[in-house]
Amino acid sequence: MKLLRYGPKGQEKPGMLDAQGKIRDLSQVVGDIDGSVLDDASLAKLRAFDPASLPLVDGNPRIGPCVGKIGKFVCIGLNYADHAAESNLPVPPEPVIFNKWTSAICGPDDDVEIPRGSKKTDWEVELGIVIGKAAKYVDEANALDYVAGYCVINDVSEREWQLERAGQWDKGKGFDTFGPIGPWMVTRDEVPDPQNLKLWLEVDGHRYQNGSTKTMIFGVKKLVSYLSQCMSLQPGDVISTGTPPGVGMGVKPSPVYLKPGQTMRLSIEGLGEQQQKTYAAD
């Protein structure tokens, strides 16, 4: 099942994608696609609906972030062995955790803002985990029971603010529009092995990232379990799990960064595709 949110920013309605790739309206069934409808029982009720019985959404509406009212947007750094190598950094012994502010969240095809004065805005295609029920001190063996589904995330990053200015990574990760999420959340029953998904990203048609979740250092089960030891995870929280090699910072011999007027396209196998245009902040 593919759940999504569509409509103008701040006025998104809940929807479901049918087998023909058409959007079906769920607003008479649920108020939103958020933590209140992501537990197994609620998803089972939605799954019982015949999509053909739901109103068809006409035209090509804007697609919003696939989860509403996100409480925490937790991210993992250096979580692909081949990405750590291209960054000339050691494989971390434990997950590297940082946060994106919820004000960074935007739709999968919304424009991405290059911050004022930025010369090092970068891209990162990542597998997103959507939490379905409250998780605290979860065993790794049971961790997937707490996952509602998966989605595509672009962990847009400003490297100067992230790495060259004193403090935490969070500063370079949380600019407005730096968290495109979607186009839809695919429920976990349709993703039998989250550690065997191809993912890629292109800028202006040039493919920079072409990897697989096979090379994750810490897999989905480990991450959900680990995070639940140091924070409680709530329904609707989103975890961005790290990126494969091919980020702009790692291009040899000279890094390549985003400029206004470019187009990013990115996708994860079975989870849909995003496309964003970049523009300069006012």
Mean pLDDT of 96-113: 97
Mean pLDDT of 36-45: 97
Mean pLDDT of 4-30: 97
Give the burial string for 126-147 (b: 16+ CB within 10 Å, else e). bbbbbbbbebeebeeeebbebb
Entry pTM? 0.97
Mean pLDDT of 202-218: 97
pLDDT at 85: 79
pLDDT at 86: 78
| β-bridge mates for residue 152, sequence order | 127
Mean pLDDT of 117-122: 96
Report all structural domains of the chain as residue ranges with CATH numbers, in order of start.
2-53 (no CATH), 73-280 (3.90.850.10)
How many angstroms separate the first and last alpha carbons of the chain? 39
pLDDT at 84: 79
- The DSSP output letter for 161 is I
- The DSSP output letter for 83 is H
Query: Does residue 81 register a pLDDT over 90?
Result: no
Indicate the pLDDT class of residue 88, thresholds 50, 70 and 90: confident
Nearest to 200 by CA among 278, 112, 126: 126
Ranges 33-42, 85-94, 110-119, 138-147: which has the least confidence? 85-94
pLDDT at 132: 98
